[in-house]
Amino acid sequence: MRPAEYDTLRALEDRHWWYAVLRNLVSMTLPSRLPPLARVLDAGCGTGGMLRFLTNEIPLLEASGIDVSEIAVRHCHDRGLPMVSMGSVNALPFADGEFDAVLSLDVLYHEAVDEEQALREMRRVLRPGGLLVLNLPAFEALRGSHDAAVGGVRRYRMCHVQRLLKVHSFDAVITHHWNAWLFLPLLARRQWSRWQSEEARAAVASDLHLPSPAWNRLLTVAGRIDALLCRLLRLPFGSSIYVVARRTATPLPDHGAR
């Protein structure tokens, strides 16, 4: 992920509608499924927006975070999150079964992440029955300049996500697409970005921009309705896939997920 993108993320994620929708999904997932004083790890926490939300808005959680970027960790510490340390999701520096839940939001698709090894590590640090919460960018057709700016090298289809969960001994609780209502405009934008010149692609930035306050509020409401409808109607498309799964007690033989 380009260094400037961490500064953009830190400046916008607490207010941006897309992150507000994702925080709402997480807030509907964790409290009813975790025991009191549950330990939660945000694996690949970025600049700490989700961790700040967890510590402020969901009581009785003991939250920790880890990120491979020194810039991201510094942003977390600057915003008052001393529980964040530097490290890779490919080799989590925690004991077996240490956490009741692991969140990893838009992390597995990054170029520095080995998705198989990262999932093995997340399973290892979860207690039996612990929760895994993932958010994953969907559909290779949506790849564009945004992915280049943030270091994203893979996008997911639901069938591949389900295979990954099965191979790594997770039982799916919730799996659904979201942000379906903006799928076609986003597809057009991303396809157009692929046709840019080499010089233009070298100067790309992510799609993260803050709309006006009125538009941001409207998009937040629309995004929450969209996420609910995606879950209820099982819509087969959207720009992201949201996953909640439980760690099984016994791992399956590792035959690979591909």
Q: Establish if 256 belongs to a structural domain.
A: no
State how far the Cα of 44 lies from the Cα of 86, in Å rounded to an integer: 9
Burial class, 245, CB count within 10 angstroms (exposed 0-12 / middle 13-18 / buried 19+): buried
Task: Say what the pLDDT of residue 203 is.
Answer: 53
17: in domain: yes
- Would you state the pLDDT for residue 204? 63
pLDDT for 251: 65
Domain annotation covers residue 93? yes
Q: Which domain holds residue 98?
A: 3-247
CA–CA dist 165, 133 (Å, integer): 11
Note whether residue 258 is domain-resident.
Answer: no
User: CB under 8 Å to 219, separation ≥6 — which residues?
Assistant: 17, 18, 211
Decide if 51 contacts 76 (C-beta within 8 A).
Answer: yes
Q: Is the dihedral of CA 93, 29, 81, 107 positive or negative?
A: positive
Query: CB neighbours (10 Å) of residue 98?
Result: 16
Residue 255 lies in a domain: no
Q: What's the CATH code of the domain at 28?
A: 3.40.50.150
Domain count, the chain: 1
The pLDDT score that the predictor gives to residue 258 is 41
Query: How many Cβ atoms are within 10 Å of 136's Cβ, its own excluded?
Result: 24
- 194: tokens are 């692929």
In a domain, 150, yes or no: yes
Q: How many CB atoms lie within 10 A of CB 4?
A: 12
For residue 126, being part of any structural domain is answered with yes
Domain for residue 38, yes or no? yes
Q: What is the pTM of this model?
A: 0.92
What does the pLDDT profile of the chain (258 residues) look like in tens digits? 778 889 999 999 999 999 999 999 999 999 999 998 999 999 999 999 999 999 999 888 999 999 999 999 999 999 999 999 999 999 999 999 999 999 999 999 999 999 999 999 999 999 999 999 999 999 999 988 888 888 889 999 999 999 999 999 999 999 999 999 999 999 998 888 767 645 554 556 677 899 999 999 999 999 999 999 999 999 999 999 999 999 998 765 554 444
pLDDT of residue 254: 52
